[in-house]
Structure 1
């Protein structure tokens, strides 16, 4: 494992250090993190320098393009970084290798521009262009989590695109915390785009599922989207059941809260919200109010993208650590082992549910 180096971008330092600790324990070795310097000129231009040799090393770059807490001084004023700027730093660090690395694997849990994955009319095709650009820059493998549209891999047919899901890790945490509720569950998709994800959760838990269809006003556009008129429910009777609402990401969260309110009105007991990425772009006031009203019991999300410490300490929020999963992926890739065992944790979840059910009897 001496041929391996981690480059942990400043936007995911805590996650990267946890991954490094796992790798150190797995391989009985010292730290794998390579030192880098990220500098900014006063007009906002930047550069990255790698402070040690990476020649003939297998590089694993870890970045969180969704971290909105990072900033730098531009013309004397604090300037908070957008996903575009985080992506630019990824290109800088690849450039700084000067072509000397043996292999470059980019670990980008929140895929850059993942929601701009298809074109309608005269629109940019940002995600596909970015993936092709990374391939041209010399990236050999891209690792991401819960891509908004997994089909985006077709933009780079010759490049390995590993799209993992933290489903079993989230469910392990859920089962550990909510033992009393797992025997009376239904899983729900908040819209038709999330049905496959909800079905997978339902299969893992061995329960039924339902879905909501978002009926939109196609004659209007508000904040770039057609406003939702109604959530039409399709599924089994909800009364007296506990519910899990699952999606890949929570942006404003308004839609998920509205679905939770509808489930409450239909007689659902405890309602749990689950998302790989809790972006919470409009703040948390709506979640605080909904929690206080008893609309939902808890929100489960991961540390794969930035969430402020203040939110992590809320009673209604549960942070799921995925650093061990990333360390496993790196270990398997570096040892040239098949990643197949890491894609499916279904057996472990089923065994855990069975043990919990036996205890509850």
Structure 2
């Protein structure tokens, strides 16, 4: 269906490099210049957030690019206030492009008298005027049901699959995909299916939160190049311990592919000193200088996928087509 309005992109301060990369990719796809809407997102002296949009957005199809990563509360408030500013400026539609959806780990009540913060965040986003959400690798897929608006959840596994097929092209027969816990088996199985590799599981048991009492490997990893796949790496304690256990069980190499590199606290130091040969993350969260300098951390770009997804939403065509290697491979040609 032909569209009269142009897609217009605006960004908060959470990940400006990714926002600029998305506009560059969209410029390539469309054969015309695509720039971020001129705006300022600033803080008063008391840290209140203020937004001013300098361009006319009346009747426009608006896309706000903003991960709700650390500092999660500041970035979330920026997203909400930008949306409110656009709604009050008569934008035709507001889509939140949230590469990393914060608070997603609080998706259920784990014990009495605890919140479901992911649902609260969903309510706040809808109340602020957001009419559609585009995100990647939600920690829990059921969060899509917390919204009464369309939610497009992209997957990093097709990008990871393309990279693995390139990096391990001479030894694919030795590759084994590993889930670091039972809860991540579906994600690991999806990647294993894409690269035609076997699957193993590391079963961990905790005595109390933050402490891992015991790890057991389910599957024979002897002589294999193990690839741990997960959606979030925070302090990297579990990841580094899982790598050690796999090496103890006979793995020749351990690599990790993690969608969202939160990498807080001692994470980078742990990864640098670990037995892991490499950690591959996406740029859904802006990497710190320490992450960029780490010798065994590599960053894959998500801008090509998000740029195409935004164009598909604008055109009213399928976003799920980006889940297929055949569709994604041309977009990433020359990048991976």
Give the TM-score, by structure 1 length: 0.85
Q: Do the aligned residues in 1 keep the contact of 2:97 with 2:135 (CA within 8 Å)?
A: yes
Give the SS at the match of 1:180: coil
* Shift in Å, 1:122: 0.7
Q: Structure 2: which 5+ runs fail to align?
A: none
Instruction: Please list the CA deviations of residues 216-273 of structure 1 after superposition, one character each: whole Å capped at 9, or x if unmatched.
Output: 21xxx4xxx26321012212x2111111011101111111111111111111111111
Give the superposed CA RMSD: 1.8
When structure 1 is superposed on structure 2, of 320-329 and 128-137 the one drifting more is 128-137
Rounded to whole Å, the distance in 2 between the matches of 1:210 and 1:326 is 31
The alpha-carbon distance between structure 1 residues 7 and 115, as it changes in their structure 2 partners (threshold 3 A), is same
The alpha-carbon distance between structure 1 residues 309 and 202, as it changes in their structure 2 partners (threshold 3 A), is same
Q: How many residues align?
A: 324
Q: Structure 1: which 5+ runs fail to align?
A: 69-81, 353-361
1:315 partnered with 2:295: yes
Q: 1:234 aligns with which of 212, 215, 218?
A: 218
Instruction: Please list the CA deviations of residues 195-232 of structure 1 after superposition, one character each: whole Å capped at 9, or x if unmatched.
Output: 11111111111111111221121xxx4xxx26321012
Q: Do the aligned residues in 1 keep the contact of 2:165 with 2:195 (CA within 8 Å)?
A: no
1:335 partnered with 2:315: yes
Rounded to whole Å, the distance in 1 between the matches of 2:173 and 2:327 is 18
Instruction: Please list the CA deviations of residues 58-79 of structure 1 after superposition, one character each: whole Å capped at 9, or x if unmatched.
Output: 000001221x4xxxxxxxxxxx
* Shift in Å, 1:130: 1.1
1:63 partnered with 2:61: no
Rounded to whole Å, the distance in 2 between the matches of 1:282 and 1:226 is 13
Rounded to whole Å, the distance in 1 between the matches of 2:140 and 2:7 is 30
Spell out the pairing of 1:33-112 with structure 2 (5 A cutoff): 33-66=36-69, 68=70, 82-97=71-86, 98=88, 100-112=90-102
Give the SS at the match of 1:248: strand
Rounded to whole Å, the distance in 2 between the matches of 1:279 and 1:181 is 30
The alpha-carbon distance between structure 1 residues 226 and 33, as it changes in their structure 2 partners (threshold 3 A), is closer
Q: 1:289 aligns with which of 260, 264, 273?
A: 273
Give the SS at the match of 2:213: strand
Structure 1 runs, 4 residues or longer, greater than 6 Å off: 346-349
Q: Do the aligned residues in 2 keep the contact of 1:212 with 1:231 (CA within 8 Å)?
A: yes
Q: Do the aligned residues in 2 keep the contact of 1:253 with 1:280 (CA within 8 Å)?
A: yes
From the CA coordinates, give the structure whose radius of gyration is larger. 1
1:149 partnered with 2:159: no
The alpha-carbon distance between structure 1 residues 117 and 346, as it changes in their structure 2 partners (threshold 3 A), is farther
* Shift in Å, 1:346: 6.7
1:264 partnered with 2:247: yes
